[in-house]
Chain A
Amino acid sequence: MQILLTLLPIIIIGLILLQKTNSGMQGSDLKAPLSPLTLRLQQSIVFFLIFFLGFSIYSSNKMQQDIVVKQQIKPITIPTQDPKLNSSFSDLIEK
């Protein structure tokens, strides 16, 4: 899971940086030299990976929270029903 959480962001960064653009620059109306199909494909992959990463983060968090909850709950030790103890106890009552 940890490798997935490390690799997925790196892949997403790479994919985003591959998409050459000039948007965000003020006063520019020049468009990116990418074909619409390639662009759409890259956009879809990024969105898919982001959703996948979101799911991974969610499940990883849930797993870790479960571990914390388990650690916080102290094990309750139930006294074992020792037959010897029981017998001695009943003997004691009888006496």
Chain B
Amino acid sequence: MIQKQYKPLINKLLITFGILFFYKICTYFPLPGVNLDMIARFFAEQKNTMFGVADLFSGGAISRMSFVALGIMPYITASILMELFAHFDPNIGALKKEKEGMVIFVQKTRYLTVFIALIQSIGVAYGITKMGEGVIITDTTSFLFYSIPMLVMGTVLLMWLGEQITNYGLGNGISLIIFTAIISGLPGGVVNTIDLMNNGSLNPLIILFILFIMAATTVFIIFIEKGERRIPLQYTSSDFGGNYLPIKVNLANVIPAIFAGALISIPVTFGTFFKDVSSLNFINDILTPGTLGYNIVTFLLIFGFTFFYARIAFKVDEVTKNLNDSGSFIPGIRPGEHTKEYLKKITLRLTVFSGIYLGTIATVPWAIMNQLGAPFYFGGIMTLVIVQVTFDFITKLFNEIETLKLKEKEQESFI
């Protein structure tokens, strides 16, 4: 029997899983007028390309040409762009500091999401019509007429579902939607691997090695994600010792990798749809996941974006000001300008490490697995998202349980 005080938690969990289940159902509703057999054949050919990876991140919605095929990526891109605008434009930055301003900021992010989704949906819908004869059952004009608003709506719906989870469920809704999309593709990958092993197409020793790489990548990511650089702090107003300022080792988080992935996918998407253009075909050949060209471009982009995003994630000026205001200082370092310079030096080192770490996990595991002939995609960024979302969800779940327990104790003591 579930105790009465846990009812709100159960409700939150039911809302969360209910919405995620609803999202999964949405991925099975294809755009009207698409010949699904031909689409499935096309994606079977594109399995190890950028399309295969994008399909995995969409939970199979792309290969089924669902109305949620664009996924939540336009919203993530819009959020990142808005963060960048807020960093460079003081007027937008000021919005985030007050209640009404925050609502306007989020609303602007949503409008930008619609705009990005609209551009992408025009590209995707037009691209489908150019994929070959027989892909579209209906006539092209009417297909474009209804598929573009439907694809935009798919993204807006996912954004809204994510918001509903964040408001009424448990955890960050947007992250959980990406997590569900990735996780739902795993059982298929496992079944495929077992089939290949049974057929004798894949050596059991290679499968063991693949499992080892997957486990090692996961452990390495958890180890780094849990790591923090602790800068000792001293308070002028008290004698408390042992205080420190924690700075995450992976300062820039997963965002540089997502942004790099989104940027690379643009020429690849156009290259796949518009096969007549030779320059786009050339880009498509270079940027096939697992190839040397793809790995180098991905690594460099992630490394560059890490420097860019780390400045937004950790604002040295603000931290120095906060330390001053709270009457704390770093032992051996003078407050003010010296502290700022010291923190800049520390964050620069962490950013370099963060860039190398993100670039490595985004390229190396899949490069090795591709060489081994792994029948499914496994990337470090995918694992990083899974690890982060899992930790976040578990932390929030335990916090909820602790809060409910405290409330129960309060009520008991009151009685």
Interface centre among B32, B79, B107, B142 (most CB of A within 10 A): B32
Interface contact A22-B149, CB-CB below 8 Å:
no
Q: Does A10 contact B149, Cβ atoms closer than 8 Å?
A: yes
The contact of B152 among A2, A13, A33, A61, by CB within 8 Å, is A13
Q: Tell me whether A17 and B111 are in contact (CB under 8 A).
A: yes
A-B contacts counted at CB < 8 A amount to 100
A24 and B162 contact, CB distance less than 8 A: yes
Looking at B98-106, B368-376, B403-411, the stretch in contact with chain A turns out to be B98-106
Question: Given contacts A9-B152, A54-B29, is CB(A33)–CB(B160) below 8 Å?
Answer: no
A17 to B163, CA, bound (A): 12
Residue B138 at the A interface, CB < 8 A? yes
Asked if B67 lies at the interface with its beta carbon under 8 angstroms from chain A, I say: yes
Interface of A: prevailing SS: helix
Point out the residue from A13, A28, A64 that lies within 8 Å of B32, measured CB to CB: A64
- Give the Cβ gap from B42 to chain A, nearest Cβ, in Å: 17
Instruction: Determine the interface band of chain A, counting residues with CB < 8 A from chain B.
Output: 20 to 34
Q: Is B122 an interface residue (CB 8 A)?
A: no
Across the interface, B106 reaches (CB within 8 A) one of A10, A21, A53, A58, namely A21
A22 to B150, CA, bound (A): 25
Q: A25 near B102 (CB under 8 angstroms)?
A: yes
CB contacts (< 8 Å) of B75 on chain A: these are: 24
A 28-57 to B, binary, CB cutoff 8 A, 1 in contact else 0: 101011000000000100100010011001
Whether A23 and B103, one on each chain, are in contact in the complex, defined by CB atoms closer than 8 angstroms, is: no
Q: How far is the CB of A48 from chain B (nearest CB, A)?
A: 13
Q: Which residues of B contact A19 (CB under 8 A)?
A: 160
Could you say which interface size class chain B belongs to? Answer: 35 or more
Tell whether A60 is near chain B: CB-to-CB under 8 Å: yes
Quote the shortest CB–CB distance from B25 to chain A (angstroms): 8
| Alpha-carbon separation in the docked complex, A21 to B111 (Å) | 12
Report whether A17 and B103 are in contact in the complex, using a CB–CB cutoff of 8 Å: no
- Is A85 interfacial (CB-CB < 8 Å)? no
Is residue B256 contacting chain A, with contact meaning CB distance below 8 A? no
CA distance A65 to B33 in the complex (A): 8
CB atoms of A13 and B166 under 8 A apart = no
**Complex contact B163–A24 (CB within 8 A):** yes
> What is the 8 Å Cβ interface bit string for chain B, positions 105-126, against chain A (1 contact, 0 not)?
1110111001000000000000
- Rounded to whole Å, the gap between the CB of B193 and the closest CB of chain A is 32
Residues of A within 8 A of B103 (CB): 20-22, 30, 32-33
- Collect the chain B residues with CB atoms within 8 Å of residue A30's CB: 99, 102-103
Query: Residue of B at shortest CB range from A11?
Result: B153
CB-based contact B173/A24 at 8 Å: yes
Complex Cα distance, B118 from A10, in Å, reads 12
One digit per residue, 1 when the CB lies within 8 angstroms of any chain A CB and 0 when it does not, for chain B 136-174 equals 011000100110011011001101101110110000111
A4 CB → nearest B CB, Å:
9
Q: How far is it, in angstroms, between the C-alpha of A67 and the C-alpha of B35 when the chains are bound? A: 12
In the bound complex, CA of A6 to CA of B148 (Å): 8
- State the CA gap A23–B138 with chains docked (Å): 39
A-B complex: 8 closest residue pairs judged by Cβ atoms: A9-B153, A60-B32, A5-B146, A9-B149, A23-B166, A6-B146, A22-B106, A23-B163
Taking A13-B152, A26-B172 as given, write out 8 further A-B residue pairs in contact, using a Cβ cutoff of 8 Å, ordered by the A residue number: A5-B146, A6-B145, A10-B149, A20-B106, A24-B162, A57-B29, A57-B30, A60-B32
